[in-house]
């Protein structure tokens, strides 16, 4: 990369420190912990061979499991809520338990059909607030809560998880990014932080029409064949999510931090560690990038090319003409879920 620009002393050192801080962060460690489970899971479950209707494998490690079903796919996923979040902000924890599942379905190009919850509560837990949050999200995203399991235990602990069933006719996955693709970030910046957490809330208080149409856009782009791969930005932030997408696709890439859409007033360090209500990382061929950016921007959402996919098996961060290595997937895995070359 270029030499340091005048007036920007230490830019390279600051970028490398930022990369080290992300790589060592609790959110990244939480994703690495997944690898212990990944090592115990059959990558192509033989158990489904007797009832699936088509010969494709069911990928493990995507935003949802995509189960062949007639002319499309059933989408099955679940999300657990961090105990500290549940205790500190019970209503929004209930809302988020539904919201993040709906986003996972949207990232696969699908629409939600129904959710169920599993809720363990202590006698002092604000159960009404948690359930009210779930109900509010179900109304906002037009997905019914159809059942689940609830247990009250006098001494706790309090724990909440929600599972979702959805469907896609035109499937998006995390496994399709190709060297040469543009990395686009589609994100809603019309919100605020849910203090003290890193959750950037753009969903509460918004109309159901807007929320559902914003998510349905991904299915429209999938039907048009405009996207090679898609991943919902998680609590590992946009860089961690890019790392998961690239790992799944057995690829590498670079993120230009100077091109990253961000809300006013948010520091780069905080924004990189943020979990937005609406944020999707897209791998798109360069000849279709403008089309995708225009479609997303037409809904008053931010969308920009923030990087490029390559064959390096590493993710680098770029800023001010410098690059710093964030993660070398060739040397160590991240979540442990990577598409096998022979399956691609």
- Provide DSSP, 15-58: HHHHHHHHHTSHHHHHHHHHHHHHTTS-SS-GGGTTT-SSS---
Query: What is residue 245's predicted lDDT score, i.e. its pLDDT?
Result: 94
Pair (150, 178) in one structural domain: no
Contact 53, 70 (CB under 8 A): yes
Task: Give pLDDT, residue 55.
Answer: 54
54 lies in the same domain as 200: no
Helices (H), ranges, 202-281: 208-223, 237-248, 268-272
Last residue of a domain, one of 152, 168, 184: 168
* Number of domains, the chain: 2
Asked if residue 328 and residue 199 are part of one domain, the reply reads yes
Domain encompassing residue 222: 11-36+173-343
SS3 content of the chain, % helix, strand, coil (to 5): 35, 25, 40
In tens digits, what is the pLDDT along the chain, a chain of 344 residues?
333 444 455 888 888 888 888 888 877 877 776 666 666 555 555 445 555 555 566 777 788 999 888 889 999 999 999 888 898 999 999 999 999 999 999 999 999 999 999 988 887 778 889 999 999 999 999 999 998 888 887 777 788 999 999 999 999 999 999 999 999 999 999 999 988 888 999 999 899 999 999 999 999 999 999 999 999 998 889 999 999 999 999 999 999 999 999 999 899 999 999 999 999 999 999 999 999 999 999 999 999 999 999 999 999 999 999 999 998 998 988 887 776 443 44
The two structure tokens encoding residue 17: 């420190």
pLDDT for 127 equals 84
CATH code assigned at 111: 3.30.1330.10
Helix or strand or coil: residue 252?
A: strand
- Say whether both 228 and 255 belong to one domain: yes
Asked whether residue 2 is domain-assigned, the answer is: no
210 and 86 within one domain: no
Quote the pLDDT of residue 229: 96
Are residues 195 and 339 located together in one domain of the fold? yes
What per-residue confidence (pLDDT) applies to 277?
Answer: 94
Do residue 244 and residue 270 come from a single domain?
Answer: yes
184 in the same domain as 62:
no
Q: What residue has token string 């959402």?
A: 301
- pLDDT score, position 41: 58
Tokens coding 287: 């000849």
Over 275-323, what HEC string results?
EECCEEEEEECHHHHHHHHHHHHCCCCEEEEEEEEECCCEEEEEECCEE
Asked if 22 and 128 sit in the same domain, the reply is no
Q: Of 151, 168, 185, which marks where a domain is finished? A: 168
Q: What is the pLDDT of residue 193?
A: 93
Four-residue CA torsion sign, 270, 5, 255, 301 = positive
Place of tokens 């007797």: 50
Please give the Cα distance from 244 to 333 (Å, whole number): 9
Task: Calculate the dihedral angle through the C-alpha atoms of 84, 85, 88, 93, rounding to the nearest 10 degrees.
Answer: -150
Question: Are residues 164 and 177 both part of a single domain?
Answer: no
Q: Are residues 161 and 184 in the same domain?
A: no
Are residues 205 and 337 both part of a single domain?
yes
Per DSSP, the residues of 164-193 read EEEEESS---SS---TTPEEEEEE--S-EE
Torsion angle of alpha carbons 173, 174, 176, 178, nearest 10°?
A: 150
Domain termination residue (choose one: 147, 168, 189): 168
Torsion of the alpha carbons at 93, 282, 222 and 56, rounded to the nearest 10: -90
Are residues 178 and 228 in contact, defined by beta-carbon separation less than 8 angstroms?
yes
Instruction: Tell me phi and psi for residue 83, to 5 degrees.
Output: -55, -40
pLDDT digits (tens, 9 = 90+) for 326-339: 989 989 888 877 76
């Amino acid at each position: 990369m270029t030499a340091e620009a005048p007036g920007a002393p230490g830019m390279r050192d600051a970028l490398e420190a930022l990369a080290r801080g992300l790589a060592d962060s609790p959110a990244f460690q939480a994703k690495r912990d997944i690898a212990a489970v990944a090592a115990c899971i059959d990558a192509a479950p033989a158990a489904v061979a007797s009832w699936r209707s088509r010969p494709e494998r069911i990928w493990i490690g995507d935003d949802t499991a995509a189960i062949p079903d007639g002319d499309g796919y059933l989408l099955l996923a679940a999300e657990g809520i961090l105990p500290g979040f549940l205790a500190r902000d019970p209503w929004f924890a209930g809302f988020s338990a539904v919201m993040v599942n709906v986003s996972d379905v949207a990232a696969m190009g699908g629409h939600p059909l129904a959710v169920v919850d599993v809720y363990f509560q202590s006698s002092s837990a604000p159960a009404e607030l948690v359930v009210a949050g779930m109900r509010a999200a179900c109304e906002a995203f037009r997905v019914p809560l159809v059942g689940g399991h609830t247990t009250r235990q006098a001494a706790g602990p309090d724990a909440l998880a929600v599972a979702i069933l959805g469907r896609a006719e035109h499937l998006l996955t995390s496994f399709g990014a190709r060297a040469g693709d543009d990395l686009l970030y589609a994100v809603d910046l019309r919100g605020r932080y849910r203090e003290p957490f890193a959750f950037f809330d753009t969903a509460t208080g918004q109309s159901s029409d807007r929320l559902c149409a914003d998510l349905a856009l991904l299915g429209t782009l999938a039907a048009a064949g405009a996207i090679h791969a898609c991943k919902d930005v998680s609590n590992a932030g946009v860089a961690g999510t890019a790392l998961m997408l690239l790992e799944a696709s057995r690829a590498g890439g670079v993120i230009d931090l100077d091109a990253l859409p961000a809300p006013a007033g948010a520091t780069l360090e905080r924004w990189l560690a943020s979990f937005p209500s609406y944020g999707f990382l897209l791998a798109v061929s360069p000849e279709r990038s403008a089309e995708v950016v225009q479609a997303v921007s037409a809904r008053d959402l931010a969308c920009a090319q923030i990087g490029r996919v390559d064959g390096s098996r590493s993710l680098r961060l770029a800023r001010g003409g410098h690059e710093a290595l964030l993660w070398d997937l060739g040397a160590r895995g991240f979540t442990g879920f990577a598409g096998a070359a022979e399956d691609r």
